[in-house]
């Protein structure tokens, strides 16, 4: 059996968490990632019949939380209370590979969380988002939560309206309407780590791959780690440009009719109601 530390999905998690910490998106133990794995690929590195321990889910009442559509699915997930800066040097402590247990009521630990760790407290919210995105796109595999600095700063000075927030981001860089043509979903401030915010995020994920948690951070979803990271990275760059220019007179901007030309050139379906034509 191959060394689990050499597995591409472990390396991806290590590299991505290191990048997110380096960029200042995930201070301390802020942020979390879950990555739906291919069981055949996992079998090359682990005996999936060997369960190390069963772990109850945090932050939800198992009576009214139903993750049964994910039963038997295997994820690699960042650990609760773990710092992204430490993942690369000690993945076995800071990451875990888990299988969703019977009825989606718990998780079975297959590897990791050395020393008694457990999945991020946001994992139930991640599972809700995975279930929502898999209905839209069966190839969706990654859910990523982080606290990008400029995106968060923008929350304090910009109206938290999906159309207006998206439109501003689209105006900041030519690539934005191409990268996230469906726009960005926005939720008001809500208590994190609860079933309520998980359900609200999942509902937004039916329309968006990006959901802003007001005054907190952002959720992104995608087919690959690169795609999901790139979505958040593009929003963060646009938010940075906005924050650098918002207090200055606007001399130039990308016009809505030019955004239409971009969308037509790349053949993408975009939120036409988010433009003012």
Distance CA 142, CA 78 (A): 12
Domain borders along the chain are 1-120, 122-277
Half-sphere exposure of 207 (CA within 13 A, CB side): 13
Whole-model pTM: value is 0.94
Within this chain, domains 1-120 and 122-277 share the same CATH topology: yes
**Which residue is catalytic, options 108, 122, 162, 236?**
122
The top-level CATH class assigned to 122-277 is alpha beta
CA atoms within 13 A on the CB side of 214: 15
Average pLDDT over residues 201-222: 97
pLDDT at 62: 52
Expressed in angstroms, the distance from the first to the final Cα of the chain is 59
What pLDDT is recorded for position 59? 53
User: Domain 1-120: what homologous superfamily?
Assistant: Class II aldolase/adducin N-terminal domain (3.40.225.10)
117, 115, 81: which is closest to 96 by C-alpha? 117
pLDDT of 12 > 70? The answer is yes
The percentage of residues in the chain with a pLDDT greater than 70, rounded to a whole number, is 97
Nearest to 71 by CA among 98, 40, 35, 42: 98
To the query of whether residue 62 is one of the catalytic residues in this protein, the response is no
Q: Residues 222-247: pLDDT tens digits? A: 999 999 999 999 999 999 999 999 99
> Which pLDDT band holds residue 58 (cuts at 50, 70, 90)?
low
């Amino acid at each position: 059996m191959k060394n689990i530390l050499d597995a591409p999905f472990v390396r991806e998690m290590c590299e991505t968490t290191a990048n997110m910490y380096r960029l200042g998106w995930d201070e301390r133990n802020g942020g979390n990632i879950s990555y739906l794995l291919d069981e055949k690929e996992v079998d090359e590195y682990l005996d999936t019949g060997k369960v190390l321990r069963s772990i109850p889910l945090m932050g939800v009442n198992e009576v009214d939380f139903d993750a049964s559509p994910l039963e038997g699915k295997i994820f690699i997930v960042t650990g609760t209370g773990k710092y992204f800066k430490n993942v690369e040097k000690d993945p076995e402590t800071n990451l875990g590979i888990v299988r969703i247990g019977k009825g989606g009521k718990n998780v079975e630990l297959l590897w990791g969380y050395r020393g008694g760790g457990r999945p991020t407290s946001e994992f139930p919210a991640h599972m809700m988002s995975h279930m929502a995105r898999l209905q839209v796109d069966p190839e969706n595999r990654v859910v990523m939560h982080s606290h990008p600095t400029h995106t968060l700063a923008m929350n304090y000075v910009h109206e938290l309206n999906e159309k207006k927030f998206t439109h501003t981001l689209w105006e900041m860089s030519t690539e934005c309407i191409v990268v996230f043509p469906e726009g960005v979903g926005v939720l008001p401030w809500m208590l994190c780590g609860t079933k309520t915010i998980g359900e609200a995020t999942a509902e937004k994920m039916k329309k968006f791959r990006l959901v802003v948690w007001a005054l907190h951070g952002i959720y992104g979803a995608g087919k690959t780690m690169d795609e999901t990271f790139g979505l958040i990275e593009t929003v963060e760059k646009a938010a940075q440009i906005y924050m650098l220019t918002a207090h200055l007179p606007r001399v130039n901007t990308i016009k809505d009719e030019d955004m239409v030309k971009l969308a037509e050139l790349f053949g993408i379906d975009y939120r036409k109601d988010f433009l003012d034509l």
